Amino acid sequence: MKAEKENRERKEEERGYEEERRRMVEGLRADGIGEEVLEAMMHVKRHLFVPPHLIEQAYGDYPLPIGEGQTISAPHMVAMMCDYLELEKGEKVLEVGAGSGYHAAVIAEIIGKTGHVYSVERIQWLVEFSRKNLKQAGYKHVTVMQGDGTLGLSEYAPYDKISVTCAAPDVPPPLLEQLKTGGKMVIPIGRYMQELYLVKKRNGVEREKKCNVVFVPLIGRYGFREH
Ligand code: SAM
């Protein structure tokens, strides 16, 4: 009886979150986000990626603290960055800054099980937090590693796409080296006044400024120094 009641309550709770997720996705659709990204964001349960005391705010379109002074990015920012990358099924993607694991899960949802996301996170506690969240949400084709993401992850390079989820002083040279020719990278650049760039690697390198953003700093060898 008790187990049945708990099961029923859990299902009702999940339905409630699904309704909130639908509202979040409708808001993103109104902002002009593409169908594939919207579909992925309808699937990823953001409430499994936020700290338990913030679960009721999981579907608000704003960043939330996840501990260690870091944040899970706002849904519209995750959506825009995925849209700019034009992710495709089967791609190999590098993420710098796993944080909660949510953004990696959205990428993983879009590229499907034939693709793979490698995410590098600097803070060990967040490596464990993101791994736990990704496992609970069922994403097996995401690998989170501890390290300095400004150096990329040469063992799995080259990457079709790279998503940097913290603000850099400039594009770290190892990331450009590890991006395939024909590949794309999104990266916020700047310390206080930050802008999101779409970087395309062809014969040369093209950079397109997209919009003003606010991200936590990228800290590392080719990033900012820790205070
Ligand atoms: N993508 C995350 C999510 O979905 O929750 C949000 C990322 S948060 C805005 C930025 C993350 O970048 C933080 O977790 C921070 O610890 C990490 N970070 C900062 N510098 C880094 C570096 N050099 N290498 C890897 N991660 C870094």
Return the closest-CA partner of residue 88 out of 176, 180, 221. 180
pLDDT in tens, 18-62: 999 999 999 999 999 999 999 999 999 999 999 999 999 999 999
- Of ligand 1's listed atoms, the one at least distance from the Cα of 100 is 5
Instruction: Tell me which residue has its CA closest to atom 19 in ligand 1.
Output: 218
What token pair was written down for 59?
């579907």
Asked whether 143 and 118 are in contact (CB, 8 A), the reply is yes
Residue 171 lies in a domain: yes
| Residue 169 beta carbon below 6 angstroms from any ligand 1 atom | no
Residue 220 lies in a domain: no
CA distances, 17 to each of 46, 81, 115, 154 (Å):
9, 24, 27, 38
How far apart CA 160 and CA 49 sit, in angstroms, is 26
Q: How far is the CA of 105 from the centre of ligand 1 (A)?
A: 14
- Pocket of ligand 1, candidates 125, 218, 224: which has the most ligand atoms within 8 Å of its Cβ, to mutate? 218
pLDDT score, position 2: 77
Residues in the chain: 227
Residue 86 lies in a domain: yes
Asked whether 147 and 172 are in contact (CB, 8 A), the reply is no
Cα first-last separation, the chain:
55
Total structural domains in the chain? 1
Residue 156 lies in a domain: yes
Q: How far is the CA of 67 from the centre of ligand 1 (A)?
A: 11
Q: Specify the amino acid at residue 14.
A: E
Q: Kindly indicate the confidence band of residue 4, based on its pLDDT and cuts at 50, 70 and 90.
A: confident
Q: How far is the CA of 166 from the centre of ligand 1 (A)?
A: 6
Domain span at residue 60 reads 2-213
What token pair was written down for 164?
């940097």
What token pair was written down for 171?
């594009």
Residue 222 lies in a domain: no
| Residue 176 beta carbon below 6 angstroms from any ligand 1 atom | no
Residue 189 lies in a domain: yes
Residues marked active site are found at 73
Taking the model in full, what pTM does it have? 0.96
The residue behind tokens 């909130």 is 20
Residue 4 burial (C-beta neighbours within 10 Å; 0-12, 13-18, 19+): exposed
Q: What percent of the chain has pLDDT over 70?
A: 100
What token pair was written down for 53?
């005391």
Residue 36 burial (C-beta neighbours within 10 Å; 0-12, 13-18, 19+): middle
- Of ligand 1's listed atoms, the one at least distance from the Cα of 123 is 16
- Of the segments 13-17, 164-168, 223-227, which one has the largest average pLDDT value? 164-168
- CATH number, domain containing residue 175: 3.40.50.150
In sign, the C-alpha dihedral spanning 60, 139, 168, 81 is negative
How far apart CA 120 and CA 151 sit, in angstroms, is 10
Contacts (Cβ under 8 Å, ≥6 apart) of 70: 99, 123, 126, 216
Residue 203 lies in a domain: yes
Q: How far is the CA of 100 from the centre of ligand 1 (A)?
A: 9
Residue 224 lies in a domain: no
| Residue 100 beta carbon below 6 angstroms from any ligand 1 atom | yes
- Of ligand 1's listed atoms, the one at least distance from the Cα of 223 is 23
Q: How far is the CA of 145 from the centre of ligand 1 (A)?
A: 12
Q: Kindly indicate the confidence band of residue 1, based on its pLDDT and cuts at 50, 70 and 90.
A: low
